[in-house]
């Protein structure tokens, strides 16, 4: 029986104090249930990732008031996309924050052609991190929600400048998550033992537990895809869109930031799609640091994630660092409904 000092604090104050103490690092150690080397590793890695999130959130909160926050750098990344100031800033923040953990030898980023190599960490480096430093960067200058996505894998190869060992199927991820920079800043992650969400308390400078063991509803009303591409989609995808248009009970939501759209679906249920188009047959989203980590989370939350051909995202064996994949992700019943329509109309030609 723990002796407690007599308290005149209200129940609400006591709850606030208790909530404030369930920090991210403490929760992770609690999840492991021990202070093993692996538990300490993950607590340290997640602590560095959360530090990167705090720094990025702080910078975003002053965007428009400071340099190198809004606008573009004038360069184009490996994806062929215009690099925003925040893309470059966030990429650097993640690398520096994770480098200081001493545990990571290589980092794969949407913003870098090749993995970043941290030689001082390679003797000990047991992990590699694959990340999208800023997802949805077209939203930044409009002050809309954006995110960062990360995936932690075991570094299996002897690092000799190649990275074949980083091309692992998503079911081998050790942990995955995202940071959502919205009205509040949230960090949502899973280490394969459920999905847990933390909210950054600016007054404490800590991510404190908000919800743990989150389960996405088995079905939701939201469908999320960019209908501006309707005439570039396969006939089966067009048939899905026609189906939700003529069927009661569906609501369209699409923010232009994958993390925000998938977070909505994790919380309320529904389905997000980014299908292939005539110009990009494999779609726009990258497997290793967008589809795979989000698929890991949604499956942990009782949802599903597949390609538009019906292949489970987490079973795909990557062949390239920046490989793209046409994604269907969300509530189990909604994803199954999409897959059924795509299968039934596989031979339906496009109509525009």
Cβ atoms 129, 107 nearer than 8 A: yes
Kindly tell me which of 98 and 285 has the beta carbon lying closer to ligand P6P. 285
Distance of alpha carbon 216 from alpha carbon 238, whole angstroms: 26
Q: Which stretch binds ligand P6P (CB under 6 A): 132-140, 167-175, 235-243, 245-253?
A: 132-140
Q: Which is nearer to ligand P6P, 176 or 257 (CB)?
A: 257
Contact present, 111 and 99 (Cβ < 8 Å): no
Binder among 136, 220, 301, 330 for ligand P6P (CB under 6 A)? 136
Q: How far is the CB of 306 from ligand P6P (least distance, A)?
A: 17
Specify the 3-state DSSP secondary structure of 247: coil
Nearest to ligand P6P of 207, 274 (CB atom): 274
Task: Compute how many other C-beta atoms are within 10 angstroms of the C-beta atom of residue 201.
Answer: 17
Which strand (E) or helix (H) includes residue 15?
A: helix 11-21
Taking each helix axis from N to C end, the angle separating 24-32 and 37-61, rounded to the nearest 10 degrees, works out to 160
CA distance 172 to 154: 8
330 near ligand P6P (CB under 6 A): no
Binding segment for ligand P6P (CB under 6 A), chosen from 41-49, 130-138, 201-209, 343-351, is 130-138
Task: Tell me how many residues contact ligand P6P (CB under 6 A).
Answer: 9
Site for ligand P6P in 217-236 (CB under 6 A): 226
Q: Which pairs count as long-range contacts for 24-31, CB under 8 Å and 24+ apart, including other chains?
A: 24/50, 24/187, 24/198, 24/206, 24/207, 24/208, 24/209, 27/196, 27/198, 27/209, 27/212, 28/191, 31/191, 31/193
Q: Which of residues 257-296 bind ligand P6P (CB under 6 A)?
A: 257-258, 284-285
Which of 111, 135, 206, 282 lies at the binding interface for ligand P6P (CB under 6 A)?
Answer: 135
What is the nearest approach in angstroms of ligand P6P to the Cβ of residue 136? 4
Residue with Cβ nearer ligand P6P (256 or 310): 256
Smallest distance from ligand P6P to CB 137, Å: 6
In the complex, least distance from residue 180 CB atom to ligand P6P, rounded to whole angstroms: 12
Question: Taking the CA of residue 204 as centre, how many other CA atoms within 13 Å lie in the half-sphere pointing to its CB?
Answer: 16
Chain residues binding ligand P6P by CB under 6 A are: 135-136, 138, 226, 256-258, 284-285
């Amino acid at each position: 029986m723990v002796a407690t000092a007599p308290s005149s604090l209200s129940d609400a104050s006591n709850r606030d104090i208790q909530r404030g103490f369930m920090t991210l690092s403490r929760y992770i150690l609690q999840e492991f249930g021990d202070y093993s080397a692996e538990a300490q590793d993950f607590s340290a890695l997640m602590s560095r990732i959360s530090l990167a999130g705090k720094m990025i959130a702080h910078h975003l909160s002053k965007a428009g008031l400071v340099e190198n926050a809004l606008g573009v750098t004038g360069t184009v990344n490996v994806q062929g996309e215009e690099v925003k100031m925040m893309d470059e800033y966030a990429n650097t923040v993640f690398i520096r924050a994770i480098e200081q953990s001493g545990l990571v030898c290589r980092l794969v980023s949407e913003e870098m052609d090749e993995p970043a190599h941290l030689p001082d960490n390679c003797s000990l480096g047991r992990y590699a991190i694959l990340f999208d430093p800023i997802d949805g960067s077209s939203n930044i200058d409009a002050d809309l929600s954006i995110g960062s996505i990360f995936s932690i894998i075991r570094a299996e190869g002897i690092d000799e400048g190649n990275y074949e060992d980083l091309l692992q199927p998503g079911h081998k991820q050790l942990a995955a998550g995202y940071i959502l920079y919205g009205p509040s800043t949230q960090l949502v992650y899973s280490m394969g033992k459920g999905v847990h969400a933390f909210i950054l308390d600016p007054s404490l400078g800590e991510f404190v537990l908000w919800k743990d063991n989150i389960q996405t509803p088995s079905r939701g009303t939201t469908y999320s895809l960019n209908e501006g591409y309707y005439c570039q989609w396969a006939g089966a995808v067009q048939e899905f869109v026609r189906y939700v248009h003529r069927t009661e009970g569906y609501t369209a939501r699409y923010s232009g930031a994958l993390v925000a759209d998938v977070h909505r679906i994790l919380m309320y249920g529904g389905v997000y799609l980014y299908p292939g188009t005539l110009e990009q047959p494999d779609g726009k989203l990258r497997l290793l640091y967008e589809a795979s980590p989000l698929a890991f989370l949604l499956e942990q939350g009782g949802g599903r994630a597949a390609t538009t051909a019906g292949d489970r995202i987490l079973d795909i064996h990557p062949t390239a660092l920046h490989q793209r994949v046409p994604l269907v992700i969300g509530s189990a019943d909604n994803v199954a409904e999409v897959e059924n329509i795509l299968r039934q109309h596989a031979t339906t030609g496009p109509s525009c």
